Amino acid sequence: MGNKKTTHHLLIQKLGHEFNDPSLVDLALSHRSVGAKNNERLEFLGDSIVNFLMAEALFQKFPECREGELSQMRAQLVKGETLAEIAKEFSVGEHLNLGPGELKSGGYRRESILADAVEALIGAIYLDGGMAACNEHVPRWFESRLDLISPRNSNKDAKTRLQEWLQARKMPLPQYVLINTSGSDHQQQFTIECDIHHLQQRFTGDGSSRRVAEQAAAEEALTALHQSE
């Protein structure tokens, strides 16, 4: 995975926060498999912060929505799959500090580890720069997803939302093709390609099952399509 400590500056640039204490980044990227000095406490902190920030963003964006609708939309934004997608956009896996077992089994691709690292990075930003720093940077990571979300589709998965988007524009449905499988039988990683033929575009997603990978690919497609509108 390369010399991670020398490449953290690339990740920091993507995160947007200039750390006064770069050791917090090292800690946030250290999985519990490396020992007692790991990111679990930062993850705990970041989980609370991202839930608050998304709650605030949704509260402002949807003044007419009730609590239940806001809760559903927040759950969609902060779920593990979404956090893992953000981790992949930032190439967080390339920077993770993993123990030998996790490294050998491909832990740097595992969605749960990636999602936890994103929460830990949010916790690190909070400790380094306070809530103002979190409020400045973290909502930007979710911007395209906040643009897409609505009370109507908050309980619909990405494949369903992509299908409805295409049908509304009288476009053919996407094709999902398995392009790669890696890892051991118990810890397989799937890569799925979502082909939107009419647009001559393809989007890929990874996951611990074909279903999860298909959802990730559909989410990538939705984000790109929304940005191109």
- How many residues in total does the chain contain? 229
Closest by CA to 22, choosing from 122, 125, 131, 167, is 125
**67 known member of a binding site:** no
User: Taking all residues of the chain, what is their mean pLDDT, rounded to a whole number?
Assistant: 88
Q: Is 206 a catalytic residue?
A: no
User: 43 among the known binding-site residues?
Assistant: yes
Residue 98 token pair: 């993993």
Determine the pLDDT at residue 206.
87
Is residue 123 pLDDT above 70, yes or no? Answer: yes
What pLDDT score does 155 carry? 64
* Catalytic-labelled residue, pool 47, 85, 111, 219: 47
Domains along the chain with CATH numbers: 4-148 (1.10.1520.10), 158-228 (3.30.160.20)
| pLDDT value at 31 more than 90 | yes
pLDDT at res. 169? 86
- Beta carbons of 168 and 198 less than 8 angstroms apart: no
Rounded to whole angstroms, the Cα distance separating 114 from 197 reads: 31
pLDDT surpasses 60 at 56: yes
pLDDT tens per residue, range 36-45:
999 999 999 9
Region 17-33: mean pLDDT is: 93
Catalytic residue among 119, 206, 214, 219: 119
Residues 145 and 81: their CA atoms lie apart, in Å, by 12
**What pTM did the predictor assign?**
0.70
pLDDT over 60 (residue 208): yes
Active site residue 119: yes
Helix axes 111-141, 40-61, angle to 10 degrees: 40
Between 50 and 72, name the one with better pLDDT: 50
- Tell me the pLDDT band of 2, cut-offs 50, 70 and 90: very low
- CA dist 121 and 127 (Å) reads 10
**Per-residue confidence at 6, pLDDT binned at 50, 70, 90?**
very low
